[in-house]
Amino acid sequence: MGDQELLAGYVDAWWASVTDLVTLLEELGPDDWALPTDLAGWDVKAIASHAAHLESLLAGGPDETADVGEAPHVASPMSQFTEIGVLTRRDREPASIIEEIRSTTTARHDRLLAEPPSDPAAMADGLFGLIGWNLRTLLRNRPLDIWMHEQDIRRAVGRPGGMDTVGAQHTADYLSETFGFVVGKRVAPPVGTTAVLAVEGSPTVAVEIGEDGRGRRLAAVPDAPTVRIDSDRESFIVLAGGRRAAEPGSVVVSGDQALGQRIVERLATTP
């Protein structure tokens, strides 16, 4: 796959995820917007506001400022930044936030189609470039972020779904790829340990811990790994996304049970 085709795939996944998010938001009732989500301190409106904020910036909108103050869920520079969009839209009506998401993403999508990105290594514009992201990182992360937030809202309002979409596939596959990092760096089992992650609907990932402590991806899945973890997509997503514990019995550990539990407890790689 060429670079331009790769980036175009990320753009398509982002646009499909945006469309799904807007459709969901339009279906919500007035009381749904105040429901709490799995993200500490944020209700449904806060998540929609955060999405609107980032998409506005990406579309070339103005920088926003707000007095974030101190709150238990605002504990890092990144969380202080993401809180700004929530505060600047605190008095906005839901319909206004939906329209902002629709208009800014449409403008950006039109621009990306007119001038398709072709260099994954090119630095991203604005804030994302300042934190060291290139175009590949930015475009690959946007569908993940949008789809994860769609799911946050779905769980909050009791509207399950969206597990078989383009965004769902992209996100599950993407997060599965962090398995080697989780095992090698976060869990750090002995050299020679083999671990397998099998998430329903995504390619199975097998890693082996090398002499340098890294989880090296294996070309083939071993028949008898040290540990194997099997999960449905939704259970894996809530764990890897740091949202909540999976439902009992939904994640099955085979082999070294203690090691498997340590891996499951450390799967979260995105806030």
Residue 197 — very low, low, confident or very high, per pLDDT cuts 50/70/90? very high
pLDDT at residue 70, as a whole number: 80
Could you tell me if residue 244 is inside a domain? yes
pLDDT at residue 271, as a whole number: 62
Distances, alpha carbon 115 to alpha carbons 73, 101, 110, 128, 171, in Å: 39, 21, 9, 19, 25
Q: How does the average pLDDT of the chain come out, rounded?
A: 95
| pLDDT tens-digit readout, 207-241 | 999 999 999 999 999 999 999 999 999 999 999 99
Percent of the chain with pLDDT over 70: 100
Write the CB contacts of 13 (distance below 8 Å, at least 6 apart in sequence). 143, 166, 167, 170
End-to-end CA distance of the chain: 30
Q: Kindly state whether residues 153 and 183 are assigned to the same domain.
A: no
Q: Kindly state whether residues 193 and 236 are assigned to the same domain.
A: yes
Q: Kindly state whether residues 31 and 146 are assigned to the same domain.
A: yes
pTM of structure: 0.95
| Tokens linked to 245 | 């514990």
pLDDT at residue 261, as a whole number: 97
Could you tell me if residue 204 is inside a domain? yes
| pLDDT tens-digit readout, 156-173 | 999 999 999 999 999 999
pLDDT at residue 54, as a whole number: 96
pLDDT surpasses 80 at 1: no
Could you tell me if residue 169 is inside a domain? no
Spatial contact of 152 and 28, defined as CB atoms under 8 Å apart: no
Pick the closest to residue 84 from 40, 54, 60, 105 (CA basis). 54
Residue 36: give its domain's CATH number: 1.20.120.450
Query: How many domains does the chain fold into?
Result: 2
Spatial contact of 227 and 251, defined as CB atoms under 8 Å apart: no
Interval 12-38 mean pLDDT = 98
What are the φ and ψ backbone dihedral angles of 69, each rounded to 5 degrees? Answer: 70, -155
pLDDT at residue 66, as a whole number: 83
Q: Kindly state whether residues 253 and 138 are assigned to the same domain.
A: no
Pick the closest to residue 194 from 222, 229, 236 (CA basis). 222
Higher pLDDT, 196 or 65: 196
Residue 200: give its domain's CATH number: 3.30.1050.10
Could you tell me if residue 164 is inside a domain? no
Could you tell me if residue 171 is inside a domain? no
DSSP H or E segment with residue 102: helix 94-114
Position 257, amino acid: Q
Q: Kindly state whether residues 134 and 181 are assigned to the same domain.
A: no
Interval 71-87 mean pLDDT = 86
| Tokens linked to 173 | 């596959």
Domain that holds residue 197: 177-265
pLDDT surpasses 90 at 79: no
pLDDT at residue 58, as a whole number: 95
Q: Could you identify the residue written with the tokens 């203690």?
A: 258
Q: Kindly state whether residues 184 and 143 are assigned to the same domain.
A: no
Interval 87-99 mean pLDDT = 97
Query: Which has the minimum average pLDDT: 53-57, 68-72, 144-148?
Result: 68-72
Q: Kindly state whether residues 43 and 131 are assigned to the same domain.
A: yes
pLDDT at residue 196, as a whole number: 98
pLDDT at residue 59, as a whole number: 95
